[in-house]
Amino acid sequence: MLVPMEGVPETLYARDGDAHLAYQVVGHRGPDLLFVPTATFPIDLIWDEPTVAGHLRRLSSFSRVILTDLLGVGSSDGVSPRDRPAMQSWTDGLVAVLDAVGSERASVFSMQGSGQTAMLLAASHPERVRSLILWNPFARYIRAPDQAFGLPEPMLSRYLAKFEDSVGTDAIVEVLAPNWARDAAKRRWWARCERLTGGPGYVTALYEVFLRTDARPLLESIQAPTLVMRRRGDRDVRREHALDIVERIPDARLIEFDGDDTVWFAGDADSVLDEVETFLTGQRGAPPSNRVLSTVLFTDIVESTRRAAQLGDAAWTSALAAHDRLVERHVTGWRGEVVKFTGDGALATFDGPARAIECARAIRDAVEDIGLSIRVGLHTGEIEKSDGDIHGIAVHVAARIMALAGPREVLVSGVIPPLELGSQIVFIDRGQHELKGVPGSWPVLAVGD
C-alpha cells in the first residue's frame, strides 16, 4: 500500500490464529522497517502529534515503514497480558504483520520495553530480521544477583503504584520527555495516548511484564547487526542497561546523544534519525546462518526396557509407532518441529517456550491413553541446525534436565519462566543442579499441572 507523504496511513489487520494485529504501512523507498512503539503510543493516535508525525514521515522517506500495535494494545485485539504468554504472543504478532505486508526480511526499530519483543524476534526468527535498532533498551530492568544495576526488587511495588497513579495525567512527560514539559498540546496528546491504551490498571499490568521479563539469555543468539541508542541524561533506563546489551549481542554498537529525553522523538530527534538512516541504508544486514534461538524439548518413555519386555517385540513396536504419531501430531499442532525420534523418546524444537510447555503437557497426557508414561525436559537457548539435526549446549541442557524428571514430570531450566510472564503456567522450584558435562549450576523448575 502506497501512502502520500502528507497522508495518514490506513490501519489494517493481520491475523495470528484468532488474534487481530493492527498495522499501517507508509512510504515505499528503501528497505522494510518495522517500527514497534511502546504500548502507550497506539498507532492510530501517534500521527495526531505533528512533531511525531513529521519524524515518522522522515523515516518513510528512506524506508517502507510498517507500524504495529502489539497484541492487547491500541487497535490490536484487547487481550490482557495476564491471559497469554506476553512475549511469545507479541513476537508471533510481529511475524504475522510481516507476513501480511509481504515482508520477507525487515529491520526492526523498537523503543524501550518493546525492545525485548524485538530482541526475541531477532533471536528466534533470524531469517526475518535484517537488522535491529534498539532505542533506550533494557534486557532486564530490575536488579538480580548477577546484575548490580537497575531497580531494586523491593522498590518495584512502590514504583508501579506511582506509575499507575500517573497514567493518563501527563505527569510522566516531565520524566520521559522534559523538552516537552511546557508544551500543553503535547502533554494532552501524551495523556490521551495513555488513557486510550487501556486505562491505568491495564497499562500498569503491561508495564510490569516489561519490567519483570529477563531477556538476557536471548542476546547472544542475535545475529543481526544491532544499533543501540540512548541519551546521556536519560532518567528512566540506566546506561548500564544499554552497555550490557551491547556486550552480549555479537554485532552491536552503542551511540549516545546529548539530552535527557527518554523517548527518541522528543528533543533532538533529527540526530537520531540521521543515525537510523545511515545504519539502514549503509549496512548489509546479517548473513544467512544456521544458528537460531529455540526451545528444545526432550521426551523419554519411563522404564521403556521393562515395558518392552512386558509387551513383547510386536506389541512394543506397535506402541512405539503410536507414540511417535502422537508426538508428531502434537508438536506440529503447537507449531513445533520434530527433529528426530530417539527410540524411546523424541527431540523437538519450538520458537517459543509456552508452546513447547503446552505441547509437552499434551503429549504426556495423550500417551497415557496407550499405556505409556513419559518425562520431559525443556530449555531455551541457541542451537545450530545441520543436516536435519540440531547441535549446541542448549540441546545438552535440555537432555540433562529431562534426566532429572520423574514419571509425568515436565522440568524446565531457569531461563524459561522470566520469558513466560502472563502465560498462567505455574513453575515450582526444584533447586539448583549440576548438569553432567555442562558448566555451572542450573536452576530447574517443574511445570505445575
Residue 378's region, left for phi above 0, alpha for psi from -120 to 50, else beta, is: beta
Partners of residue 434 on adjacent β-strands: 441
**pLDDT at residue number 80:** 65
**pLDDT at residue number 59:** 95
* Residues in Cβ contact with 247 at an 8 Å cutoff, skipping those fewer than 6 apart: none
β-pairing, 441-447 with 427-434?
A: antiparallel
Cell 543436516: give the residue: 387
Q: Which residues of the chain register pLDDT less than 50?
A: 1-5
The span from the CA of 402 to the CA of 300, in Å, is 8
Residue 52 contacts residue 265 (beta carbons within 8 Å): yes
In DSSP notation, 44-75 reads HHHTTSHHHHHHHHHHTTSSEEEEEPPTTSTT
**pLDDT at residue number 30:** 86
Residue 362, SS3? Answer: helix
**pLDDT at residue number 3:** 37
Residue 371, SS3? Answer: coil
Residue 247, SS3? Answer: helix
Q: How far, CA to CA in Å, does 126 sit from each of 63, 222, 285, 352, 382?
A: 20, 7, 11, 14, 11
Of the candidates 347, 441, 367, 442, which has an alpha carbon nearest to the alpha carbon of residue 407?
367
Residue 378 contacts residue 321 (beta carbons within 8 Å): no
The span from the CA of 352 to the CA of 350, in Å, is 5
